[in-house]
Chain A
Amino acid sequence: MSNAISADDAGPGPGAPPASVAGTNTPPHDSRGKPRIAVFKFASCDGCQLQLLDAANRFLELAEHVEIDHFLEARSRSVPGPYDLGLVEGSITTPHDVERIHEVRAQCRVLVTLGACATAGGIQALRNWGRIDDFLSAVYASPQFIDTLATSTPIADHVHVDFELRGCPVDTTQLVELVTAVLVGRRPRVPQHAVCVECKERGTVCVAVARGIPCLGPVTQAGCGAICPAHDRECFGCYGPAEAANLVSLTGWYERRGTPREELARLVRSFNAWAPAFREEGDRLSAGPAGTDVESSP
């Protein structure tokens, strides 16, 4: 989970003049000279694909500039690859997924993951801490017909990913920005700073400071527009760890001010539980102070 394109320090910085968006880099692929886009789904709720449709007016504008050749959520017609841009939703949870993501990668010049599932394994990565056989027997009447992996893993664990768009779901503005940037061949403007920046932009009063609510905003990457704190709720970490996220300091502060350790472990173990910084902190908190049983702590 690295935001591969934007993490390139040698890349062009923000602030390039308008001429740089002139579109000289556009690689026309179909017969009408439009770039071809495909959208693929793996283990997911379809919410990120719906965000693409939810972009409504911008989506229609997008359709004027690109050929959407494979997007089963939106249309049954599918044109075979190769594609200029592949957008992948969902995590890898079955042996078939593993085969299929390699086929998808081979079909796409640029491959971008959409959302927490594809980028960090999603909420379903909670299975990575359990025993898959226990889940199967608890959920399915005839588990012998289920062919699944023991883990839910991000796309980048299996194939090279050019850019990871965070979020549960992804933000439509970031999605359009990403597609625009890929089409014209520039780096997308997707900041890696914390959700706090967006709270301050909105003028939202900090729920952690003014209400004592344990909030993941200071360690979570921005992009959602800081929706939850604007509605008196803590940030749930939908966009995964921010750059330089200092989980130990933040959870230690909350713990010293009365939030139980197991509650903090649950807070970091949600949609992005398997993202490295959150995973490490969830494990550290679950391990508890040396010699104590987390389940029995107050």
Chain B
Amino acid sequence: MNDGVLAAAAHQPGSWHRLARRDLQHLIDVLVEAGHRVVGPQVADGAIVLRDLAHADDLPHGWLDEQDGGSYRLRHDPGAGPFDHVVGPHSLKNFLFPPRDTLQRWVRVAGSWQEQAIPRDEPPLAVIGARACDLQALAVQDAIFIRADYADPAYAARRDRLVVVAVNCRRAAATCFCHSMQCGPAVTHSFDLALTDPAEGAAGDAFAVEVGSERGAGLLAEVARRTTVGALDDEAIAAARRVPRDLESRMHARSVEPGQPRPRSLDTEGIRDLLFDSLAHPRWDEVATRCLSCTNCTLVCPTCFCHSVGEVADLSGDHVDRDRRWASCFEIDHGRMHGGNARPTTASRYRQWLTHKLAGWIDQFGTSGCTGCGRCITWCPVGIDITEEVAAIRASSAPDGQPAAGHEPSPSPPDAPP
């Protein structure tokens, strides 16, 4: 038995350790040397985006993000740690379910079609800085792409090799409402390692690291060969565990402050029936006067999975790729079918998106399609707010979600799931 195995045993899943902030580079190095493509948050183009990460110095030390409907701004704060921002425009979806993918390649030889193998030589992915809402989105997309009866081979291959170094948030943007969707801010699943900065106020000089998997244990053991990975006593572990719990309490207690963006929350009580019983609600037409049908909300959403598959041929017609691209229920092509278009209006598209995300998803996948990450609010060019739309529908519906007389509650989603 060698030292590595002993060390891995010491870092078993469920254990907690101390990693100095300056030693994050060792973690990156270990991942890179094991052949991973490492992706992490970095400042670029006026936002904190997910990009290939080689140096821990490139993490957004000293930067915070201020988010509101249709608005995202970076703010320099010398006390901010590398993970004191929240979520940016990118999510794990950009990497596991990329915007474009070639699924099949066909060549016509002597009048008959032959499938050609597509090289799948991409390295395994490691994501640093994923949040609780990101991990919930990961679980939701897993349920879509890796099913018992069908698994998407490309997604499944990427997911199987994915390494997640998660972070417990100690700050929330005004657009964050993971507490309402009950999936954050505490990281509880789908991670290999989870980092928590237990310092109050300015960023501390060390992270509490929770090991979430055997893979995470092996990684931390390898880091421990290169630098000191310290022990944490029960008191320190309890302090680290309190960080996201305290934030969650603060999120529940948030109130509107003058001159500050309104903190978001979403009342999910009976939401499935509320929405399905509100299909003729005038709010759909009202939101359509503001909605641009531009697709931004769906493309930044970490769970939206719609895509279109089509063939791209060269001029000879002998070489054809079957390509998959992101699609959106806000595109006219999404509702196009034999005999007409199911959703010709913006009102019908917005209704489809909202009712599917928050109601139909429950029937289809047993969970809400929303993780409360707030991206759809921030990145809507005109600041349309999913929490505000639901609140407006709830406010003007009959008490207890009872439909108006003569109206039968819908037993199923109004539109076929995509």
Q: Please list the residues of chain A having a beta carbon within 8 angstroms of any beta carbon in chain B.
A: 9-10, 13-23, 58, 61-62, 64-65, 176-177, 179-180, 183-184, 189, 191-194, 196-197, 200-201, 203-212, 215, 217-219, 232, 242-246, 248-250, 253
Asked if B333 and A206 make an inter-chain contact with CB atoms under 8 angstroms apart, the answer reads no
Asked if A21 and B317 make an inter-chain contact with CB atoms under 8 angstroms apart, the answer reads yes
Question: Does B252 count as interface, using CB distance less than 8 angstroms?
Answer: no
A248–B330 Cα distance when bound, in Å, is 18
Q: Given that A191-B331, A250-B381 are contacting pairs, would A21 and B294 also be in contact in the complex, using a CB cutoff of 8 Å?
A: no
Asked if A200 and B293 make an inter-chain contact with CB atoms under 8 angstroms apart, the answer reads no
A179–B320 Cα distance when bound, in Å, is 16
Q: Among B72, B90, B293, B322, which residue has the most Cβ atoms of chain A within 10 A?
A: B293
Question: Does B326 count as interface, using CB distance less than 8 angstroms?
Answer: yes
Question: Does B413 count as interface, using CB distance less than 8 angstroms?
Answer: no
> A18's contact among B106, B293, B299, B330, by CB below 8 Å, is which?
B106
Q: Given that A18-B113, A206-B89, A218-B292 are contacting pairs, would A253 and B70 also be in contact in the complex, using a CB cutoff of 8 Å?
A: yes
A234–B294 Cα distance when bound, in Å, is 15
A18–B316 Cα distance when bound, in Å, is 13
A216–B383 Cα distance when bound, in Å, is 16
Q: Given that A193-B328, A219-B292 are contacting pairs, would A249 and B315 also be in contact in the complex, using a CB cutoff of 8 Å?
A: no
Q: Inside 8 A of B311's CB, which chain A residues have their CB?
A: 15-18, 20-21
Q: Inside 8 A of B22's CB, which chain A residues have their CB?
A: none
Asked if A61 and B314 make an inter-chain contact with CB atoms under 8 angstroms apart, the answer reads yes
Asked if B310 and A205 make an inter-chain contact with CB atoms under 8 angstroms apart, the answer reads no
Q: Inside 8 A of B293's CB, which chain A residues have their CB?
A: 194, 242-246
Question: Does B188 count as interface, using CB distance less than 8 angstroms?
Answer: no
Q: Given that A196-B296, A200-B296, A203-B94 are contacting pairs, would A250 and B315 also be in contact in the complex, using a CB cutoff of 8 Å?
A: no
Q: Give per-residue flags for B20-64: 1 if the beta carbon is below 8 A from chain A beta carbons, else 0.
A: 000000000000000000000000111101000000000000000
Stretch at the interface among B221-229, B258-266, B336-344, B386-394: B336-344
> A194's contact among B72, B295, B333, by CB below 8 Å, is which?
B295
Question: Does B230 count as interface, using CB distance less than 8 angstroms?
Answer: no
- List residues of B (197-239) whose CB comes within 8 Å of A's CBs: none
> A14's contact among B100, B320, B333, B382, by CB below 8 Å, is which?
B333
Question: Does B10 count as interface, using CB distance less than 8 angstroms?
Answer: no
Q: Which residue of B lies closest to A26 (CB)?
A: B317
Classify chain B's interface size.
35 or more
> A250's contact among B292, B295, B313, B379, by CB below 8 Å, is which?
B292
Q: Among A179, A200, A201, A209, which residue has the most Cβ atoms of chain B within 10 A?
A: A209
> A249's contact among B46, B316, B333, B382, by CB below 8 Å, is which?
B382
Asked if A211 and B315 make an inter-chain contact with CB atoms under 8 angstroms apart, the answer reads no
Asked if A249 and B326 make an inter-chain contact with CB atoms under 8 angstroms apart, the answer reads no
Q: Please list the residues of chain B having a beta carbon within 8 angstroms of any beta carbon in chain A.
A: 44-47, 49, 70-73, 88-90, 94, 99-100, 106, 108, 113, 289-296, 299-300, 308-317, 320, 322, 325-326, 328, 330-333, 336-341, 345-346, 378-379, 381-383
Asked if A15 and B336 make an inter-chain contact with CB atoms under 8 angstroms apart, the answer reads no
Can you list 26 A-B pairs, Cβ within 8 angstroms, ordered by A?
Answer: A13-B336, A14-B309, A15-B308, A16-B311, A18-B322, A21-B313, A21-B317, A176-B315, A191-B333, A192-B333, A193-B328, A193-B330, A194-B292, A196-B294, A197-B326, A197-B328, A200-B295, A201-B100, A203-B49, A205-B49, A206-B379, A209-B71, A210-B89, A242-B293, A242-B294, A253-B383
Q: Given that A191-B333, A210-B45 are contacting pairs, would A250 and B382 also be in contact in the complex, using a CB cutoff of 8 Å?
A: yes
> A243's contact among B71, B106, B332, B340, by CB below 8 Å, is which?
B332
Closest beta carbon of chain A to B32's beta carbon, Å? 21
> B382's contact among A64, A204, A253, by CB below 8 Å, is which?
A253
Q: Inside 8 A of A61's CB, which chain B residues have their CB?
A: 314-316
A16–B290 Cα distance when bound, in Å, is 35
> B290's contact among A17, A23, A197, A249, by CB below 8 Å, is which?
A249
Asked if B381 and A209 make an inter-chain contact with CB atoms under 8 angstroms apart, the answer reads yes
Q: Given that A13-B337, A209-B379, A253-B383 are contacting pairs, would A246 and B320 also be in contact in the complex, using a CB cutoff of 8 Å?
A: no
Q: Inside 8 A of B106's CB, which chain A residues have their CB?
A: 18
A208–B73 Cα distance when bound, in Å, is 11
Q: Given that A9-B336, A61-B315 are contacting pairs, would A218 and B290 also be in contact in the complex, using a CB cutoff of 8 Å?
A: no
A61–B327 Cα distance when bound, in Å, is 31
Asked if A210 and B328 make an inter-chain contact with CB atoms under 8 angstroms apart, the answer reads no
Q: Inside 8 A of A21's CB, which chain B residues have their CB?
A: 311, 313, 317, 320
Q: Given that A17-B311, A196-B295 are contacting pairs, would A184 and B332 also be in contact in the complex, using a CB cutoff of 8 Å?
A: no
Q: Inside 8 A of A206's CB, which chain B residues have their CB?
A: 72, 89, 296, 379, 381
Q: Inside 8 A of A22's CB, which chain B residues have their CB?
A: 108, 317
Closest beta carbon of chain A to B234's beta carbon, Å? 43
A206-B379, A245-B292 known, 10 other contacts, Cβ within 8 Å: A13-B336, A62-B315, A197-B295, A203-B90, A217-B294, A218-B294, A218-B296, A218-B381, A244-B293, A244-B345
Asked if B332 and A200 make an inter-chain contact with CB atoms under 8 angstroms apart, the answer reads no
> A200's contact among B113, B322, B326, B337, by CB below 8 Å, is which?
B326
Q: Inside 8 A of B300's CB, which chain A residues have their CB?
A: 200
A15–B71 Cα distance when bound, in Å, is 37
Q: Inside 8 A of A10's CB, which chain B residues have their CB?
A: 338-340
Closest beta carbon of chain B to A94's beta carbon, Å? 35
A250–B292 Cα distance when bound, in Å, is 7
> A23's contact among B292, B310, B317, B379, by CB below 8 Å, is which?
B317
Q: Inside 8 A of A62's CB, which chain B residues have their CB?
A: 315
Q: Given that A18-B106, A211-B46, A253-B381 are contacting pairs, would A201 and B326 also be in contact in the complex, using a CB cutoff of 8 Å?
A: yes
Q: Inside 8 A of B295's CB, which chain A residues have their CB?
A: 193-194, 196-197, 200
A18–B94 Cα distance when bound, in Å, is 28
Asked if B47 and A246 make an inter-chain contact with CB atoms under 8 angstroms apart, the answer reads no
